[in-house]
């Protein structure tokens, strides 16, 4: 809320605040991501897909870059977020949100590809947690999630009922095959969503 004042106060350490009156701009979060990819690339005409947890309100965006212009064409808005869906599984498997997602991704190859258990988890994710549209947009059933209104990523009891086991407590619970299978299932669902978004962007 008071970010401009805070920045101006900090800049005043470098000289007279009346002389440090440059305009401050706050670009959109997803446009910043897209710009850092597009303008540093060798392309002069490109589709740019940005996917993360959440920016201001956007959770995924499709931009088009042509010459020195970059335009947002489509956005997906909070609370429907592929990044937050992945973070919810990070949390449920006992890793820290916003820093442990790479561990969930690293756990996925230990899942049993093609097994009944992985296929069951994929089916549960698609039937109960996320509706995936052909254009790559998603809708998350907020009856299972807590990140929009609470202090945790998911409603622990609802997920326990859905998957048949509780959230893993890292200091107490060992990683088991079921965690590997669940990691593989959400990896497969995430990849399917990303490919749909990429096709839509192209």
Q: Which of 11-15, 83-87, 168-172, 182-186 has the least mean pLDDT?
A: 11-15
Residues 6+ apart with CB under 8 A from 51: 59, 60, 82, 83, 194, 197
Rounded distance between C-alpha atoms, residue 183 and residue 26, angstroms = 36
User: How high is the mean pLDDT of the chain?
Assistant: 94
What pLDDT, on the 0 to 100 scale, is given for residue 150?
87
- In this prediction the pTM is 0.89
Choice between 142 and 11, residue whose per-residue pLDDT is larger: 142
Model confidence pLDDT, tens digit, residues 51-99: 999 988 999 999 999 999 999 999 999 999 999 999 999 999 999 999 9
The SS3 of residue 152 is coil
Residue 1 has pLDDT above 80, yes or no: no
Angle between helices 177-201 and 82-92 in degrees, nearest 10: 170
Mean pLDDT, rounded, for 138-153: 95
Model confidence pLDDT, tens digit, residues 31-42: 999 999 999 999
Q: How far apart are the first and last CA of the chain?
A: 37
Residue 9 has pLDDT above 90, yes or no: no
The SS3 of residue 161 is helix
């Amino acid at each position: 809320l008071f970010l401009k004042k805070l920045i101006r106060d900090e800049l005043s350490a470098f000289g007279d605040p009346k002389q440090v009156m440059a305009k401050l701009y706050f670009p959109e979060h997803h446009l910043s991501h897209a710009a850092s990819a597009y303008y540093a690339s060798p392309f002069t005409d490109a589709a740019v897909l940005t996917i993360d947890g959440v920016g201001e309100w956007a959770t995924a965006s499709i931009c088009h870059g042509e010459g020195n212009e970059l335009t947002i064409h489509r956005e997906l808005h909070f609370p429907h977020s592929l990044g937050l869906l992945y973070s919810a599984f990070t949390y449920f498997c006992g890793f820290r949100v916003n820093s442990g997602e790479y561990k969930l991704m690293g756990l996925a190859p230990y899942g049993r590809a093609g097994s009944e258990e992985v296929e069951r988890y994929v089916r549960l994710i698609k039937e109960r947690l996320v509706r995936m549209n052909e254009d790559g947009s998603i809708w998350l059933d907020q009856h299972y999630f807590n990140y929009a209104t609470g202090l945790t990523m998911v409603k622990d009891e609802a997920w326990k009922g859905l998957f048949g086991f509780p959230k893993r407590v890292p200091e107490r619970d060992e990683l088991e095959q079921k965690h590997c299978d669940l990691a593989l299932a959400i990896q497969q669902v995430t990849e399917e969503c990303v490919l749909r978004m990429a096709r839509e962007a192209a």
